[in-house]
Chain A
């Protein structure tokens, strides 16, 4: 896809998703299906994931496309009838553990859990990593209110026979985590763009002391700081696709988490009173990024893991070249 095609597709997806802010994700899922999301994911995963997740972030839309990204990375054909269990919040641990022929699963899912018949789970076991398919009926799924009640998140607890366990290479799970991290980082980047846009508009319209607050250097510098963070995040996402691998994906996701905090804090301060209310849309974006930041590991755990890895190797890899 060239730049013009990408831009056109982005516009199409944005128009199609505008206003679809339901917690169940059914409306947005239908729109994405209509647009050929799964075909795009198969044929041009980079453009598909970049555009769809950026737009989900920008428009604060709930969909269940993340399931398809992770399921594909696990080596399975995605389907509307299949969901995947994500690692427990703020970790990248295996959601499943197989012992004595039984699988015990603790983790998160998106909104799709309410309308599927099967659930796929990556599990650790004494004989290595295994992929298990369990009936959705076996799952105890509790919709999470949490910080983002509209986000469609569910806490999952499953005890089931580990029938049909398929051994998978460790690299498969590492790739699935990397794929999930890239997608979530795009979504956070999209949300950050909108938060900045909302704060920027407010700063040019809100008048105090006889002038728009955008004229005050303290306000301008906060918005500048937010833009630096967003643009840096977008650059790490380009790097994560140009040199795909667990480390560039981890760096993009951790950058996304940190950027969300920077942008959230500065924009909320600029929005001041109105940003503290639910009358203004800002709160939805802020809450969504707070929730997304914990998927596939928190910013703190990813940063700590990266630091440990560098210390173990006693070197600092440059990862990307000109």
Chain B
């Protein structure tokens, strides 16, 4: 289906089914409400086939360009039907299974993720591993010879694991090489979260939500056929996510930021001070959207996305700050002193937006990558 036709049909369908899809509570709601709402909405969308476009047939999809699912995510974000931070987790989880799991496993579990029957989480970060992912230490030991072992035993800790307390499964990175093997000694596993030995401890974030958790692994036994990709090939599994995270996920986030700026524009005072703040935010969002569009067209044309997406990342993170700063400037008190549902929403999101320059590689790491890889300035040591 041509993307413009798809967009038109999708929007018409979403218009007609808004009531069915919309949350039965005022935003932001509790995290429990938001997660339940997202899963309910995904099941309605899967039933109506919208969640299946852009995914391969062998995992329950209907095929077509991945841009189709980007359109869906953006349409939902622009209509405030989905929080892209939670909804677009699909984009960093399903492709990993499709590209690296046994085909039978992918065919069994991916439809369960798409249809809202399951939630998955991503176990990458660790207490000692923030921006420097290749230093991770959560250990997986084979039961015997690594090439023939039937099970692996996992010990260690993950942190910043989104929605871990709700998740049925986890895409987990473990250390399987020597402690100093860096990116050469990492292996990925697909782990059932009800396996004995897993403990989840939610973390209260600065906005009062518990979106992230610590996850502890204490002698957790995982079948060898749950290994994703090659033994010690976990780094390429981790890196394979980048193109999705930096294209589809960003486009959804951008749609959400346009909608948030529009909410400000709907009620801001009609004066030049407001016009200047709004004009500047609009300028930045347009820059960001223009850049992201170029990136996605490159991806669709077969390009391999790499270091140049650090530019997209810098622009998205800055955009997040600009839009929520505009809310504070033009809707005085809404973040600071307003206990209504609207105040709660803006406060929660404002506080969350401060993380935009931290997660997914900090602003500083992105600039280091740009300097070394795009400007060819050599190493900084």
Chains A and B are bound partners: yes
Q: Which residues of chain A have a CB within 8 Å of any CB of chain B?
A: 200, 203-204, 212, 214-217, 220-221, 223-225, 227-228, 231-233, 235-236, 238-239, 248, 251, 254-255, 258, 300, 302-308, 310-312, 314-316, 318-322
- Please name the residue on chain A nearest to B285 by beta carbon: A316
A-B contact pairs, 30 of them (CB 8 A): A200-B375, A212-B378, A214-B377, A220-B377, A221-B371, A224-B374, A224-B375, A227-B370, A228-B314, A228-B315, A231-B311, A232-B287, A233-B287, A235-B293, A236-B287, A236-B290, A239-B290, A255-B286, A258-B283, A302-B279, A310-B282, A311-B270, A314-B265, A315-B265, A316-B265, A316-B285, A318-B289, A320-B289, A320-B293, A322-B71
Distance in angstroms from B314 CB to nearest chain A CB is: 5
Which one of A223, A227, A233 has the highest number of Cβ atoms from chain B below 10 Å of its Cβ? A227
Residues of B in contact, count (CB < 8 Å)? 56
Contact of B282 among A225, A227, A306 (CB under 8 A): A306
Q: Top 9 nearest A-B pairs by Cβ distance? A: A307-B279, A307-B275, A220-B371, A303-B279, A235-B290, A224-B370, A224-B367, A235-B291, A239-B290
Contact of A228 among B4, B283, B311, B364 (CB under 8 A): B311
B window 220-275: CB within 8 A of A = 251, 255, 258-259, 261-262, 265-266, 268, 270, 272, 274-275
B372 — which chain A residues lie within 8 A by C-beta?
220
- In the assembled complex, the Cα of A300 lies from the Cα of B276 at a distance in Å of 8
- Please name the residue on chain A nearest to B314 by beta carbon: A228
B278 — which chain A residues lie within 8 A by C-beta?
306-307, 310-311
Contact of B378 among A215, A254, A312, A318 (CB under 8 A): A215
A231:B279 contact, CB within 8 angstroms: no
Distance in angstroms from B254 CB to nearest chain A CB is: 9
A311 — which chain B residues lie within 8 A by C-beta?
265, 268, 270, 274-275, 278
Contact of A306 among B279, B288, B293 (CB under 8 A): B279
Distance in angstroms from B244 CB to nearest chain A CB is: 15
Is B368 interfacial (CB 8 A cutoff)? yes
- Please name the residue on chain B nearest to A232 by beta carbon: B287
Is B96 interfacial (CB 8 A cutoff)? no
- In the assembled complex, the Cα of A204 lies from the Cα of B377 at a distance in Å of 7
A227:B270 contact, CB within 8 angstroms: no
Is B355 interfacial (CB 8 A cutoff)? no
Q: Other than the known A214-B378, A314-B266, what 5 A-B pairs have Cβ atoms closer than 8 Å? A: A215-B380, A221-B367, A232-B287, A239-B289, A322-B70
A232:B288 contact, CB within 8 angstroms: yes
B328 — which chain A residues lie within 8 A by C-beta?
none
Is B206 interfacial (CB 8 A cutoff)? no
- Please name the residue on chain A nearest to B271 by beta carbon: A311
B289 — which chain A residues lie within 8 A by C-beta?
239, 318-320
- Please name the residue on chain B nearest to A204 by beta carbon: B377
Contact of A315 among B262, B294, B378 (CB under 8 A): B262
B window 292-322: CB within 8 A of A = 293-294, 296-297, 308, 311, 314-315
Distance in angstroms from B285 CB to nearest chain A CB is: 8
Distance in angstroms from B91 CB to nearest chain A CB is: 15
A322:B251 contact, CB within 8 angstroms: yes
Is B3 interfacial (CB 8 A cutoff)? yes
B262:A322 contact, CB within 8 angstroms: no
B268 — which chain A residues lie within 8 A by C-beta?
311
Distance in angstroms from A60 CB to nearest chain B CB is: 22
Is B67 interfacial (CB 8 A cutoff)? yes
Which one of A220, A223, A315 has the highest number of Cβ atoms from chain B below 10 Å of its Cβ? A220
Is B280 interfacial (CB 8 A cutoff)? yes
Distance in angstroms from B356 CB to nearest chain A CB is: 15
A320:B368 contact, CB within 8 angstroms: no
B251:A203 contact, CB within 8 angstroms: no
B282:A239 contact, CB within 8 angstroms: no
Distance in angstroms from B286 CB to nearest chain A CB is: 5
A314 — which chain B residues lie within 8 A by C-beta?
265-266
The answer to whether A304 and B282 touch (CB under 8 A), given A228-B311, A228-B314, is no
Which one of A238, A308, A322 has the highest number of Cβ atoms from chain B below 10 Å of its Cβ? A322
Distance in angstroms from B32 CB to nearest chain A CB is: 31
- In the assembled complex, the Cα of A204 lies from the Cα of B280 at a distance in Å of 34
B285 — which chain A residues lie within 8 A by C-beta?
316
Which one of A216, A235, A251, A254 has the highest number of Cβ atoms from chain B below 10 Å of its Cβ? A235
- In the assembled complex, the Cα of A300 lies from the Cα of B272 at a distance in Å of 11
Instruction: Digitize B129-161: 1 where CB-to-A-CB distance is under 8 Å, 0 elsewhere.
Output: 000000000000000000000000000000000
A204 — which chain B residues lie within 8 A by C-beta?
377-378
Distance in angstroms from A283 CB to nearest chain B CB is: 22
A310:B287 contact, CB within 8 angstroms: no
A322 — which chain B residues lie within 8 A by C-beta?
3, 67, 70-71, 251, 293, 296-297
B380 — which chain A residues lie within 8 A by C-beta?
215-217, 220
Distance in angstroms from B201 CB to nearest chain A CB is: 35
B283:A255 contact, CB within 8 angstroms: yes
A321:B262 contact, CB within 8 angstroms: no
B67 — which chain A residues lie within 8 A by C-beta?
322
